[in-house]
Amino acid sequence: MRIETQSLAWRVARRTIIEDVDLVAEPGTVTGLLGVNGSGKTTLLHLMAGLRKPSAGSVLVGGQRLAAMPATERARTIAMVEQESSTNLDLSVRDVVELGRIPHRGRWSGSPDDPSIIEEAMGIAQVTHLSARRWQTLSGGEKQRTQLARALAQQPRVLLLDEPTNHLDLGHQLDFLTRVRNLGLTTVAALHDLELAAGFCDRLVVLDAGRVVAAGAVAEVLTGDLLRWVYAVRASVEAHPRNGRPHLVWDGPLEREEARHG
């Protein structure tokens, strides 16, 4: 399902966090959301998930205005995996995954096909063997995969991920993103690691101070000029000799002023 934002803005206490963002994620594609800390990636994802009300503009999901969608239907369409999640309750992995069925439950009971959906979601996220483990005993990567399974149990059409690979080592990062890519869902993921973004995303959108400064195919967006402007680093991007993917070669940091005007 296609998700897009139109002139989206979010302001709080007269501060602008997101301004005039137009973003389109085509069905089945993976879009990477890049930008430095505080550039508005998380806020944009929250707006796209319907967790905050935009100050201006709108979010369209499958051509329908998100703001006009009932909350349960929204939760069956869009699932989000937060950067970090914590609970003080004594929940097992399966309990957490079952939370994803809440938008599908009736007032009194679950729907009959619940167990198979939950098991399938746990299988895809590879947490089946953790089923009875308590949440508090999981490693960062296991928690992240459990939350992915919970999101999949929502049977969403759109998946929003906020820095999903933050706490993972390289092997788990590649594993997690490969899994997400193979789902074939419309995915928008905020990412810090540019090489991972280059390797797994169809398109990249770059935010700077709440505005989109670049958007398009990976090779178009990821350039030396952009790295210099957004991340204040002197670097060049070269096609890797073996697989042709964009590959970063950096020389060092720049002063902010120098990066923008030098």
Partner 1 sequence: MTQLHDRVAHQQVRGPVLNRSRPLGALALVVAAGLLVLSMAIALGVGSVPVPVPDVLAVVARRLGLGEFGVTVIDDRLIWQLRMPRVLGAAAVGAALAICGAVLQSITRNDLADPYLLGISGGAAVGAVTVIVLGVSFAGLAGSAAVGAAAFAGALAALVLVLALATGPGGSLPPARTVLAGVAVGQACAAYTSFLVLMTGDSHAARRVLTWTLGSVAGVRWDSAIILAVVAVAATLLALTAGRKLDAFAFGEVSATSLGINVTRLRWTLLCGTALVTACVVAFAGMIGFVGLVVPHMVRILTGPGHRLLLPMSALAGGLILVWADLLARSLVDGREIPLGVVTGVVGAPFFAFLLRRHREAG
Residues that bind partner 1 (CB under 8 A): 46, 49-51, 71-76, 78-80, 82, 85-92, 94-96, 99-100, 102-103, 105, 107-108, 132-134, 136-137, 154
Residue 178 CB, nearest approach to partner 1 (Å): 24
Give 129 or 256: the residue with its C-beta nearer to partner 1: 129
Q: Which is nearer to partner 1, 16 or 92 (CB)?
A: 92
* Least distance between partner 1 and beta carbon 186 (Å): 16
CB atoms inside a 10 Å sphere around CB 103:
18
Nearest distance in Å: CB 133, partner 1: 6
Closest separation in Å from C-beta 247 to partner 1: 36
* Sequence-separated (6 or more) residues with CB below 8 Å from residue 155: 76, 104, 117
Q: Do residues 224 and 237 make contact, with C-beta atoms less than 8 angstroms apart?
A: yes
Q: Closer to partner 1 by CB, 134 or 240: give it.
A: 134
CA distance 224 to 240: 15
Neighbours of 183 (CB within 10 A): 17
Write down the least CB distance from residue 196 to partner 1, Å.
24
Strands 3-12 and 15-25: antiparallel
DSSP line for 58-105: EEEETTEEGGGS-HHHHHHHEEEE-S----SS--BHHHHHHHTTGGG-
Nearer to partner 1, 129 or 261 (CB): 129
Paired tokens of 167: 């706490």
Cβ 114 to partner 1 shortest distance, Å: 12
Q: State the nearest-atom distance from the C-beta of 260 to partner 1, in Å.
A: 34
39 vs 18: CA distance, rounded Å: 8
If the CB atoms of residues 74 and 157 are measured against partner 1, the closer one turns out to be 74
Q: Which is nearer to partner 1, 110 or 224 (CB)?
A: 110
Tokens coding 14? 């007269």
Nearest Cα to 153, choosing from 193, 203, 106, 99?
A: 99
Q: Which residue lies nearer to partner 1 by CB, 7 or 72?
A: 72
189 backbone dihedrals φ, ψ, rounded to 5°: -130, 125
Rounded Cα distance between 224 and 227, Å, is 5
